[in-house]
Amino acid sequence: MSLPAKKAVVLLSGGLDSATVLAMARASGYKTYALSFDYGQRHKVELDAARRVAAALGAKQHRILNFDLTQWGGSALTDNAIDVPVEGDKATKSSIPVTYVPARNTIFLSLALAWAETLDAPNIFAGMNAVDYSGYPDCRPEYIAAFQSMARLATRAGVEAENEEASLTIHTPIIHMSKADIVREGAKLGVDYAMTVSCYQADADGRACGKCDSCRLRREGFLAAGIADPTRYAPRPA
């Protein structure tokens, strides 16, 4: 008699990293529940990609939650008054990029935690990466460890867990991987990266600008992995 599949909530943006993480969770035997967010992001077309990825990778459910972070902006991804930096732009004095969205991962993980409790799913998978995005404070391993500790203290599931293994665990399987290693892992698991959108300012058809940091990192990852880049790019103005 086979045991029932383990449940996991997987944060899914529609980009390369989160698609790979969803595939990794599925390959590890989890029944996956994908969770995406429409938070007023400039690149909202990524949600179309999230729908495609969730369906292709067999998510049991896929939910998109709506809230508006443009109300206070503070990021190039949620404030039209702040330009998305592109290749050639001068670096700012701050070590934290202007594409950092204040408290975004804390909000995302908190909502994932709420859904995980109702599903009786003691596992959350997230695509934070501390190698390529080292400037984002909420992508650091110590942040993930701190949030997990908080979650185990703040939830009924955490308090009533019989042992640590049964308590809530946040999995960040690509946190120490390079972009090339992430691409290789996803390719091995059959991820069709043509479905994904990573660009911070993709057009309405999901075509990438080819100039922002996210495009650069994605392009360099495929090049270093020795795998053809399926990204569709918008034509540049003459």
Mean pLDDT across 171-195: 97
Beta strands 30-38 and 169-171, pairing class:
unpaired
Q: pTM surpassing 0.95?
A: no
pLDDT at 75: 95
Provide the CATH number for the domain around residue 46: 3.40.50.620
Residue 141: its H or E element: helix 141-154
| 175: in domain | yes
Bridge partner residues of 139 (DSSP):
none
| 25: in domain | yes
Number of Cα atoms under 13 Å in the Cβ half of residue 223: 6
| 230: in domain | no
| 44: in domain | yes
Length of the chain: 238
pLDDT band at 158 (very low <50, low <70, confident <90, very high): confident
Residue 52 lies in domain: 6-225
Mean pLDDT across 179-185: 97
High-pLDDT (> 70) share of the chain, %: 91
Q: Please check whether residue 139 is in contact with residue 11, taking contact to mean a CB–CB distance below 8 angstroms.
A: no
The total domain count for the chain is 1
Which of these ranges, 3-12, 62-71, 198-207, has the smallest mean pLDDT?
3-12
Say if residue 57's pLDDT is above 50. yes
Rounded Cα gap, residues 214 and 197, in angstroms: 10
Q: What is the DSSP letter of 83?
A: P
Quote the mean pLDDT of the chain.
91
| 33: in domain | yes
Tens of pLDDT, residue by residue over 82-120, are 999 997 555 554 578 899 999 999 999 999 999 999 999
- 147: tokens are 């949030």
Q: What is the DSSP letter of 66?
A: E
| 237: in domain | no
| 178: in domain | yes
pLDDT at 4: 63
Rounded Cα gap, residues 47 and 35, in angstroms: 10
